Amino acid sequence: MRIGFIGLGLMGGPLARNLIRAGKNVLVYDLKEEAVDRTLEAGSTGERAASLSDLAGCELVFTSLPLPEHVKGTMLGDDGLYAKLSQGATHIELSTIDPGTANDLYAAAAAKGIGYIQCTLGKTPAHAEKAEEPMFIGGDKALVDKYQDIFKIIGIPNYVGSIEASCAVKLISNMIGMTNVAVLAEGIRVGEKAGLDRNQLLELLSDTGARSFQMDVRGPWIAADDFKPRFAVDLAMKDVRLGLEMARAWNLDLKAMEAALKYFQKCSESGFGQEDCNAVCKIVGE
């Protein structure tokens, strides 16, 4: 089986490398040549695609792209990959996208006789590199079962039922996580006003109800003024925005998460959009 993989960024690259390490024949494509080069270092079964059209003969194609419009632009339309794949091929979509976009892709794929699986990802690039990434998989159960061996190579599969559920799990995770980052930044700022050293404050809070994944991971980065982009402000803002659009469509008013979105929007507008989402601390209290 020949596998196509589009998008070799922080999340896609590790998953593509896992497939290559497992000896799978993987044809990879990314606009950044250095991302392709790094992925191909994983093993001899990886191959560079000169263009998206080169993936037309693949039985299975993964996409891992930043925005919903990037996925739609790649797969849909007269020049999109759905128009070039053979009937019976399958598209596994790994990006963080909204349910509406996922359903549009599913319908377009079905019209061409192509299978569609939504598979969102739960943790970090470091987990992805070690094939320890939780995956929230939605779509036709028989089709998902067909690729269980592939899923087990790249991460930890969890079947959640519908395509909508797959999108929702990731968006909910990121809405909660990024709201936690905003609240953490607020707490650290209050501690500074009280004269507390950042590291001491984090140590004291680690044995209280304030402790969270984001505090454990991003708290020390904030304390060290480390804003290298593990998960950039602009991506965080995108995910929270998509999640809130999903919630509003279901007539839910999520006030805390709406407030967090405003923080990330202001952070991006202040010029910090390409820094890690912990850079939200720079605009807290302004």
Query: CA 119 → CA 16, 41, 198, 273, distances in Å?
Result: 14, 25, 38, 26
- The verdict on whether 141 is a catalytic residue reads no
Q: H or E stretch including 107? A: helix 99-111
Tokens standing for residue 19: 């497939």
- Residue 42 phi/psi, 5° resolution? -70, -20
Question: Under 8 Å CB-to-CB from 52, ≥6 apart: which residues?
Answer: 6, 29, 74, 81, 84
CB 233 within 8 A of CB 264: yes
Cα distance between residue 73 and residue 61, in whole Å: 15
Closest C-alpha among 165, 163, 170 to residue 240:
170
Q: Which of 32, 123, 146, 170 is catalytic?
A: 170
DSSP element (H, E) containing 103: helix 99-111
Point out the residues that are catalytic: 170
